[in-house]
Structure 1
Amino acid sequence: MNLQQLRYVVATAEHRTMTDAARSLYIAQPALSRAIRDLERELGMTLFARSGRGVVVTTHGRRVVKLAREALDAVHEIEGLANQSTVTEAELRIAATPSLEPGLAGRLLPAYAAAHPGVRVHIVRCDGRDGVVSAIRDQRADLGLTDLPVPTDLITHPLERQEIVLISPPGLDLPNPVPMGKLNGMRLALPARGSMRRRELDAMFGKFAVTPVVVLETDERNGWLKAVRNGQASLLWYRGLAEQAGRAGLVVRSLEPAVRRVIAVVHARRRLPLIAQDFLATAEKGTAA
């Protein structure tokens, strides 16, 4: 048994499907299934019962998952002690998505740095919400800045609601704000099918009974903007991306009715380092002002 197997067990219990757990761990699903089976053989017990397309944690499995979380938390604390003894300058690691970093992080970091000049802040750039969650679970970041919802094993501290807007190439004859019905038949660049963000957008389309024409499906943000700049499609994204889009000569419009997502600082269910607690206090104070 090793730490990697413990992380696999915890991720599988949290996601309840091998496919989603493997995606969060950035490994292939067959490799995860094989690792879980090997651990079950080693322990002589079944941890997960297969149920349709997902898995159910067994009685033995719940106990193992609880102990695995405790073991991973202990490892994190030991690593923190080692870092304190070898690093003279404190470092705070914050995972953030590219669309949120320039806005919220850009406002929060100067205030935090002014009050804590001895702390070096390292931004862990992640490709979307799933990347932020993985960075925290893998202990590559102390805090994360992302939109909600996130899995329930993370603690959330909501900061603000950010608007979703339509970013389009110039020349389209559209009002501002754009009625939701106008999205019907509109050429759009969307996140990859099956991703959490794509499921949310598909739910929004279903709610308003619209069916856009999907021109591009990718989680690569540069690909989205390139498609809009080339006049191939429009894009639904956060207002925080609007400044970058405006510099590229694109047109940003609100939606009617308005759609907003909650932006939050998130972290694991463990005691935070003092420097992370201080950043959280700065963030909450800044949004309350």
Structure 2
Amino acid sequence: MNLQQLRYVVATAEHRTMTDAARSLYIAQPALSRAIRDLERELGMTLFARSGRGVVVTAQGRRVVKLAKEALDAVHEIEALATHTHSGTSELRVASPPSLEPALAGRLLPAYVSEHPGVRVQIVRCDGRDGVVNAVREQRADLGLTDLPVPADLVSHPLERQEIVLISPPGLDLPGSVAMSRLNGMRIVLPPQGSARRREFEQLFATHGVRPVVVAETDERGGWPVTVRTASASLLGYRTMADQALRAGLVVRSLDPPLRRIIALVHVRKRIPTMAQDFLVVAESGSAGSPV
């Protein structure tokens, strides 16, 4: 038995289907089913029973799920204690993709540090939503800033809606507000194939019946302005990326109809450190005027 198997058991119990649990864990469904079967054989008990297209937790399974949650919580507490003891100082770790880092560093962090000057804040840079989710799950970050949705094993605190804009190289014959239909056939830069954000964009294109031409992929690292220029292609990104785009000589346009995503702070489903709780209070009070 290992911690990974315990995480699998908890996720399966929460989602009630192997497919949804596997999706939340970012693993293949057969791998999850195999891991659960191996654990059941090791324990000599049945944890889940088939029910239609899903599963139900057995009586023995409910006890195992409860103990698994307690064990995972204890591991998190030990790791948090070790991290803070090793650092010798109060440190709050916040995971963020580069696309949301301007909002984090420009607004949230200054507001928090002004009220809690004794806490050092470390930004854990991640590749998109998947990276933020994994950083929070693996206790490499106390909080994560990302767009929704996130898997059900994380708690989300919505802060604001952010507009998604079209960032393009200069010289394109486009209006100031670009209709979704104009994306059909447009050269475009997208997140890597297989990522959650890539799937969302593909679903968006399918909804509007458009087929852009994907000419490059980027994991949202700081080099995306160069990718847009060298590929002569447009990129869909958050409004907070506009300043960097304009400094790089790129053009920022709104979409018609406007496209927005809910931005939230997320954490594991358990008691979080006091520093993280304080950060949530500051962030939520600062976003009171931004409806979600």
Calculate the TM-score normalised by the size of structure 2. Answer: 0.84
For 1:203 and 1:122, how far apart are their aligned partners in 2?
34
Alpha carbon RMSD of aligned pairs, Å?
2.9
Whether contact under 8 Å (2:242, 2:252) holds in the other structure is yes
For 1:262 and 1:275, how far apart are their aligned partners in 2?
24
- 1:167 is matched with which residue? 167
Deviation at 1:162, TM superposition (A): 0.6
- 1:94 is matched with which residue? 94
- 2:26 is matched with which residue? 23
Whether contact under 8 Å (2:216, 2:231) holds in the other structure is no
Whether contact under 8 Å (2:11, 2:153) holds in the other structure is no
For 2:201 and 2:78, how far apart are their aligned partners in 1?
41
User: Number of paired residues?
Assistant: 285
Gap change, CA 1:171 and 1:51, over 3 Å in 2: farther
Deviation at 1:151, TM superposition (A): 1.5
Residue-by-residue CA offset, 1:221-253 (whole Å, 9 max, x unaligned): 457543311143211111111222222211111
- 1:133 is matched with which residue? 133
For 1:82 and 1:287, how far apart are their aligned partners in 2?
32
Once the two structures are overlaid, the 10-residue window that deviates more, 91-100 or 58-67, is: 58-67
Give 5+ residue unaligned stretches, structure 1.
none
Residue-by-residue CA offset, 1:152-208 (whole Å, 9 max, x unaligned): 222211111110000111110000111111111111111233322122212222222
Deviation at 1:82, TM superposition (A): 4.7
Residue-by-residue CA offset, 1:111-161 (whole Å, 9 max, x unaligned): 211221211111111111111111111111111111111112222111111
Matches within 5 A, 1:196-207: 196-207=196-207
Deviation at 1:85, TM superposition (A): 5.5
Gap change, CA 1:40 and 1:91, over 3 Å in 2: same
Once the two structures are overlaid, the 10-residue window that deviates more, 125-134 or 79-88, is: 79-88
Deviation at 1:105, TM superposition (A): 3.4
Gap change, CA 1:134 and 1:83, over 3 Å in 2: closer
For 2:33 and 2:226, how far apart are their aligned partners in 1?
37
Deviation at 1:265, TM superposition (A): 1.0
Gap change, CA 1:57 and 1:105, over 3 Å in 2: farther
1:73 aligns with 2:76: no
Gap change, CA 1:152 and 1:84, over 3 Å in 2: same
Q: What SS does structure 2 have at the residue aligned with 1:100?
A: helix
- 2:285 is matched with which residue? 285
Q: Percent identity?
A: 71
Residue-by-residue CA offset, 1:49-102 (whole Å, 9 max, x unaligned): 7899x9746425554333212211122223444556665421111111111012
For 2:131 and 2:13, how far apart are their aligned partners in 1?
18
Gap change, CA 1:122 and 1:202, over 3 Å in 2: same
Gap change, CA 1:22 and 1:80, over 3 Å in 2: closer
1:285 counterpart letter in structure 2:
S
Give 5+ residue unaligned stretches, structure 2.
none
Matches within 5 A, 1:93-112: 93-112=93-112
1:232 aligns with 2:248: no
Q: What SS does structure 1 have at the residue aligned with 2:40?
A: helix
- 1:209 is matched with which residue? 209
- 1:251 is matched with which residue? 251
Q: What SS does structure 2 have at the residue aligned with 1:152?
A: coil
For 1:257 and 1:247, how far apart are their aligned partners in 2?
26
1:109 counterpart letter in structure 2:
L
Q: What SS does structure 2 have at the residue aligned with 1:136?
A: helix
- 1:42 is matched with which residue? 42
Once the two structures are overlaid, the 10-residue window that deviates more, 132-141 or 75-84, is: 75-84
For 1:32 and 1:57, how far apart are their aligned partners in 2?
16
Gap change, CA 1:156 and 1:22, over 3 Å in 2: closer
1:152 aligns with 2:152: yes
1:188 aligns with 2:191: no
Gap change, CA 1:161 and 1:139, over 3 Å in 2: same
For 1:284 and 1:44, how far apart are their aligned partners in 2?
47
Whether contact under 8 Å (1:229, 1:248) holds in the other structure is no
Deviation at 1:12, TM superposition (A): 5.5
